[in-house]
Chains A and B, each alone.
Chain A
Amino acid sequence: MNSPSTEPLTAQSRLNEIDRSMQWPTILLLLSAVVWLLTATAFALLASVKSTQPGFLAGCEWLTYGRVWAAYLNSMIYGWGGNALFGVGLWILARLCRRPVPLPGMLLIGAMFWNLAVTIGVGGIIIGDMTSIEWLEMPAYAVPLLAFSSIILGVWGILVVRYGRPGPVYVSQLYVLGALFWFPWIYLTAQIFLVYEPARGVVQAMANMWYVHNLLGLWLIPAGLGAAYYLIPKISGRPIHSYYLASLGFWSLALLTGWGGMRHLAGGPVPAWFVTLGIVASVAMALPIAIAAVNHNVTVFGRWDQVAASPALRFVVFGTISYTLASLIAIAMALRSVSEVAQFTLMVQGQTHHMIYAFFTMTMFGAIYFMMPRLLNQPWPSAKLVQTHFWCSTVGIIIMLVALYAGGWIQGWQMNMPTLDNYGNPVHLNFLSIVQNTMPWLHARTVSILILGLGHLALAANLLWMVALAILSCKKALCPSNSKLVPETAVS
């Protein structure tokens, strides 16, 4: 931190110093993210198989469908999502604040507590202590630690900005700081209203939907958008299309997302104006979505050679294109005429996976491919594994989305569509036969998870190989004592 005063540093060497100052906590966060991703994939596979073969491993109480499904969601969102978000987001924040970070130990403690809390939470779900609240299934004894560690990490993010170099604020910083601030707020509010002092009646459902919608919309999505806003100009070398629109996009997203959750309650016993407000807010999201689409996709449009050549950029661009598509589908599903078919079907799950996997996860993969060589000072060992990962993820998520959207639409259509019985009276299709009709789509989902899992294994293998190479050669980045030897162009 004192080096800038002694001699002016070039941008390149200062960047190395920033990476070095937060090297170990960030590596810990990214590696644990990948471990949680593999865990979540295993749980997802198990849950998906169980939904078509209920007898599979049915003898084991710990692996019943309800627990495995909740364990999958929680290890995916808090384990993979949280670790990747903090690792990538805080690193981008530090980079854009352009000074080595203060108190890296605090980041390390926050990261360790976060992983401990998620481990306790997912373990609690598996042993049967889960709550019945969507996305808050973690038992109450994991909650204080999770909230506390998110506050530590958030405060650390503010310290990075406070001790960073004063200067202009880039939109990625806004998104990352937003995500850091919003998580403790929505998490604690939801815990208080749903677990510690439960609200009564339909207010519970409203609080739950508010939480689920905001966890995705104000935590994972901003982090993904912030990463894309940073990585696209960084790798492509072109400034984003419009900085002016970018900050308008951030503030309109911040304003509108919180209202949108009520659309999930259409048809439920809540006041009509409440759902209507949610629908209007969801439709108004067209503005930030259009801005993100213009800024991300127009910036790289027509430069597909460059996108294909970069391991990081191809993931990020896949993610940003998915963001536009998933958001447009979310707007469509908000409308009452669509939601009367789509609600309570596989389509809802499909849209969530579109956002969490095809957008957020793919963008985070891109960020990991960009960050790890800089943190370890070691290039990725195998291009084949990167290719395998990319194509498995792409093909897997496309199969999953087609299965869930198509299967869900048919499911909802059959539930609404009366057929005639032998006497000519209108009757609805037998519920059991509608469930039976979703079976082929659920089999397709299992296949897609297998393919995705293959891609995740490729990533993990590449990562392990890379870490092993870095340790064996004991490069400068791993041995801070001779860090002055880093060639200035090697990492940036």
Chain B
Amino acid sequence: MNLDEKSRMPDDAILEAHTRTFSKSESDGDGVLSMPILGMALFTMIFVFGGIYLSKYSGDFHPFVFDPEGEPPSWDVGADGGQQVAVDGEKLYKRNCVACHQADGKGLPGAFPPLVGSRWVRGDPDRMVAIVLNGLTGRIEVAGNTYNSIMTPFSSLLDDEQIAAIATFIRSNPDWGNNADRVSAEQVSAVRASHERSNAWNVEEILELYPLE
């Protein structure tokens, strides 16, 4: 390796070669030919590819589709003017309940009771709210089958509004054949205030307070 290397081209020579190139192409009047034919081919390929790709993958973008006079799309917010949809009952159900009662609300035979067509969730909303708040243990008969397992309490995990949303989703879900009344957060808070207990209900206690219709 040559540590004491000399430069083989002075700066003036670098610049002069540059000047020669440009003066030649200008005086000959054929500057275009300074582009080699392969370069032209590459240039053309890039243009063809770019045009096709842009038109194919631009997601129907068009600069003139924006309509400043256009009406924003409207959504059906329901009879209550959208007041109740602040908390999404379906989402909360999926997060908290599907593990046992399943996404279709039919539960697991022999283990967890169904919510579909269940008398326990219809009628007086306080019964269902009380069970969700404090949980339930022991033998229970739902839709002709007997179950014996534990439902966990949710009083410390969910607030009144969330429990109301879940109860409303379950009780008024037409896919599940339920069309009972909505449940409001005030109703949940009234049930929460009506009894001071930390342990789970058993079926007899619930039926005594909230008999099935």
Contact = CB atoms under 8 A, between A and B. Distances in A.
Interface of A: 11-12, 15, 95-96, 98, 167-171, 230, 233-240, 242-245, 248, 271-273, 276-277, 279-280, 283-284, 286-287, 290-291, 308-312, 336, 370, 373, 379-380, 383, 386-387, 489, 492
List the 8 shortest-distance A-B pairs measured between CB atoms, nearest first.
A237-B8, A272-B59, A273-B61, A273-B58, A243-B21, A244-B34, A168-B19, A239-B17
Given A96-B15, A98-B15, A291-B39, 12 more contacts: A98-B11, A168-B15, A233-B9, A243-B17, A243-B18, A243-B21, A245-B34, A279-B57, A312-B5, A370-B5, A386-B3, A489-B6
A12 B10 contact: yes
B75 interface: no
A283 B46 contact: yes
B196 interface: no
Contacts of B15: 96, 98, 167-168, 170
Interface residues of B, number: 38
B7 A234 contact: yes
B1 A383 contact: yes
B98 to A, nearest CB: 18
Contacts of B43: 287
B50 interface: yes
Interface string B32-73: 001110010011001001100110011101000000000000
Interface of B: 1-19, 21-22, 25, 31, 34-36, 39, 42-43, 46, 49-50, 53-54, 57-59, 61
B3 A280 contact: no
Contact of A309 (B1, B10, B50, B58): B1
A311 B4 CA distance: 9
B5 A311 contact: yes
Nearest to A310: B5
A18 to B, nearest CB: 9
Contact of A11 (B8, B12, B31, B57): B12
Contact of A286 (B19, B46, B58, B59): B46
B42 A272 contact: no
A15 B46 contact: no
Contacts of B2: 309-311
B1 A280 contact: no
Given A170-B18, A383-B1, A386-B1, A290 B42 contact: yes
Given A244-B25, A309-B2, A489-B6, A15 B11 contact: yes
Nearest to B51: A280
A287 B45 CA distance: 10
A239 to B, nearest CB: 4
A302 B37 CA distance: 23
Nearest to A18: B11
A243 B5 contact: no
Given A272-B57, A280-B54, A290-B42, A308 B1 contact: yes
Interface centre among B3, B11, B19, B54, by most chain A C-beta atoms within 10 angstroms, is B11
Contact of B61 (A235, A271, A311, A380): A271
Contacts of B11: 11, 15, 95-96, 98, 234
A276 B58 contact: yes
Interface centre among A171, A284, A370, by most chain B C-beta atoms within 10 angstroms, is A284
Contacts of B5: 235, 309-312, 370
Contacts, number: 132
A233 B8 CA distance: 8
Nearest to B24: A244
Given A271-B59, A276-B53, A286-B42, A311 B3 contact: yes
A11 B10 contact: yes
Contacts of B18: 168-171, 243
8 contacts: A96-B11, A167-B19, A171-B18, A272-B58, A308-B1, A311-B5, A383-B1, A489-B6
A211 B59 CA distance: 25
A291 B19 CA distance: 19
Contact of A243 (B1, B7, B22, B36): B22
A266 B19 CA distance: 44
Contacts of A239: 9, 13-14, 17
Contacts of B49: 280, 283
Nearest to A280: B50
B22 A283 contact: no
B14 A280 contact: no
Contacts of B12: 11, 98
B16 A168 contact: yes
A244 B30 CA distance: 12
B177 to A, nearest CB: 30
B97 to A, nearest CB: 23
A333 B87 CA distance: 43
Contacts of B21: 242-244
Contacts of A98: 11-12, 15
Nearest to B21: A243
A161 B150 CA distance: 84
A245 B39 contact: yes
A422 B10 CA distance: 73
Nearest to A248: B35
A235 B46 contact: no
B21 to A, nearest CB: 4
Contacts of A234: 7-9, 11, 14
A96 B4 contact: no
Contact of A235 (B8, B34, B35): B8
Nearest to A168: B19
Contact of A283 (B17, B19, B50, B61): B50
B3 A277 contact: no
B174 to A, nearest CB: 30
Given A170-B15, A492-B6, A311 B1 contact: yes
A312 B3 CA distance: 9
Contacts of A244: 21-22, 25, 31, 34-35
Contacts of A240: 17
Contacts of A233: 9, 14, 17
B14 A277 contact: no
Given A244-B25, A273-B61, A279-B53, A236 B8 contact: yes
Interface centre among B1, B16, B19, B50, by most chain A C-beta atoms within 10 angstroms, is B1
B39 A273 contact: no
